[in-house]
Amino acid sequence: MRERGQRQVFCGLAGIVWLHRKIQDAFFLVVGSRTCAHLLQSAAGVMIFAEPRFATAILHERDLAGLADCNQELDRIVAELLGRRPDIGTLFLVGSCPSEVIKLDLAKAAERLSAAYHGRVRILDYSASGLETTFTQGEDACLRALVPELPSLPDGARSLLVVGTLPDVVEDQFARLFAELGISPVHFLPPRHTSAFPPLGSGTLVLLAQPFVGDTARACQARGARILQAPYPFGVEGTLAWLRAAAQAWGIDEEVVTAVTAPAITRAERGLAHHRSELAGKRISFLPDSQLEIPLARFLQRECGMTLVEVGTPFLDRQLMAQELDLLPDSVRLSEGQDLERQLDRLRADQPDLTVCGLGLANPLEAEGLRTKWSIELVFSPVHGFDQAADLAELFARPLRRGALLRV
């Protein structure tokens, strides 16, 4: 089912909230309106920052008058910013709806500024406007902008590149697993520091850790890398299949995979058992948010025994989601895009036990008597891999448990 109408989703700018924590020497300068600045601080402002790593260059009336002036203004602002923060290694100029509508050429600006600050700061651009990107697609656009910057992998060499932001602890776990499997070197995109860019070339195998990095994957492909088809590493089944895809491509025996993964799988299944009893048989609906919906629905249905009512996703890349779709039951109602009020009508008619939705809807739905799991947390929490499988299940079990606990 494809729908169009009012959409209750974040724009790509929201990606900055986690990207600025992951890439520690990067700074994100949004070129936009007061609305963009307000979005960022509403999302991240509850943390108190001594030194924030994102900011907005707010357009004023006189900037809308002429474009040449805008470029000078931008140069002035970047100079001010770099003067204040000499520790910035990479500066992202982030496009927004207003900057796109007035056709301010940030790519040109990035090029010009890169030349001016050559050797000191790398200046890149990407668009995270609501016109073009939905929530996690902002990360895709950011990583896509990094791809041309990656050094070349020498011909004949091979490497594995894991694409998509992972919490540091999960990244370390995967690095250990790949080492035990005998896969090396393994690099991650985005890197923790922009001074350590991973190489990319025809010997690179790309494994996607997140389902929303399609454009980045295709950009890697354009530089000769090969994309490995796999489900996404959520739960035991997803993680095993994901690792296996890399191992097979690397030419590693199935027995090695089994031997390496067995202890972690046993552990994960023991952890999952705690939550399965709470989740099994419960009906769940997903409203569109992050493109994580389909892999998570697969995990909850196959490993936790939940019943899927509706799985909504903002955008469905059938090619990158092929392996996941194969694992979903035919009965599931799959929706792409959104017409908010109609979707809420369906939700009220369905009355699922748990609804995964954004924060704009969660409390109002709770007040109507529906239990909700707010979806943004799934992007902020360590949820990938074997050792987080139980944590992931717990994120969904917790609101149900809380609903049963409270007597007020």
Partner 1 sequence: MQLTLWTYEGPPHIGAMRVAASLDGVHLVLHAPQGDTYADLLFTMIARSERRPPVTYTTFQARELGGDTAELVKASVSDAYERFKPQVLMVGEACTAELIQDQPGALARGMGLPIPVLSLELPAYARKECWGANETFYQLVRGLLRAQVPEAGRKPAPRPAGQRPRANLLGPTALGFRCRDDVIEVRQLLAAIGVDVHVVAPLGASAQDLLRIPEADFNVCLYPETADQTCDWLERMFGMPTVKTVPIGIGATRDFLDEVGRVTGIDVAHAKAPNSSRMPWYSRSVDSTYLTGKRVFIFGDATHAVAAARICAEELGFTIVGLGTYAREFARDVRECARRYGVDPLITDDYLEVEARAAQLQPELMLGTQMERHIAKRLGVPCAVISAPVHVQDFPARYAPQMGFEGANVIFDTWVHPLMMGLEEHLITMFREDFEFHDAATPSHLGSGAGRDRPSAIETGPTVTPAEASHSDIRWAAEAEQELKKIPFFVRGKARRNTERFAEEQGIQTITVETLYDAKAHFGR
For binding to partner 1 (CB under 8 A), which residues are involved? Answer: 6-14, 31, 33-35, 37-39, 41-43, 45-46, 48-52, 55-61, 63-64, 70, 73-74, 76-77, 80-81, 84, 97-98, 100-102, 129-132, 134, 341, 358-364, 366-367
Q: How far is the CB of 363 from partner 1 (least distance, A)?
A: 5
Which residues lie below 8 Å from residue 172, measured CB to CB, with a gap of 6+?
none
Cα torsion angle, 211, 214, 219, 222, sign: positive
Q: How far is the CB of 375 from partner 1 (least distance, A)?
A: 12
Share in percent of the chain as helix, strand, coil (round to 5): 50, 15, 35
Q: How far is the CB of 109 from partner 1 (least distance, A)?
A: 12
189 or 362: whose CB is closer to partner 1? Answer: 362
Q: Are 320 and 214 in contact (CB under 8 A)?
A: yes
84 or 333: whose CB is closer to partner 1? Answer: 84
Q: Would you call the peptide bond into 198 cis, given omega within 30 degrees of 0 as the criterion? A: no
Which residue matches tokens 């994120």? 395
Q: Are 347 and 285 in contact (CB under 8 A)?
A: yes
Q: How far is the CB of 182 from partner 1 (least distance, A)?
A: 41
Paired tokens of 106: 């940030």
Q: How far is the CB of 316 from partner 1 (least distance, A)?
A: 16
d(CA 141, CA 213) in angstroms, rounded, equals 8
196 or 349: whose CB is closer to partner 1? Answer: 349
d(CA 197, CA 393) in angstroms, rounded, equals 33
265 or 340: whose CB is closer to partner 1? Answer: 340
Paired tokens of 146: 């990094």
50 or 196: whose CB is closer to partner 1? Answer: 50
Which residue matches tokens 């931008």? 74
Q: How far is the CB of 69 from partner 1 (least distance, A)?
A: 9
Query: Taking CA 324 as the corner, what is the angle to CA 189 and CA 337, rounded to the nearest 5 degrees?
Result: 85
Q: How far is the CB of 127 from partner 1 (least distance, A)?
A: 10
CA 193 to chain centre: 18
6 or 24: whose CB is closer to partner 1? Answer: 6
Q: How far is the CB of 121 from partner 1 (least distance, A)?
A: 16
63 or 310: whose CB is closer to partner 1? Answer: 63
Q: DSSP assignment of 269-321, as one string?
A: HHHHHHHHHHHTT-EEEE-SSSS-HHHHHHHHHHTT-PEEEEEEES---HHHH
104 or 240: whose CB is closer to partner 1? Answer: 104
Sheet containing strand 372-374, edge to edge, reads 2-3, 333-337, 307-313, 283-286, 354-357, 372-374
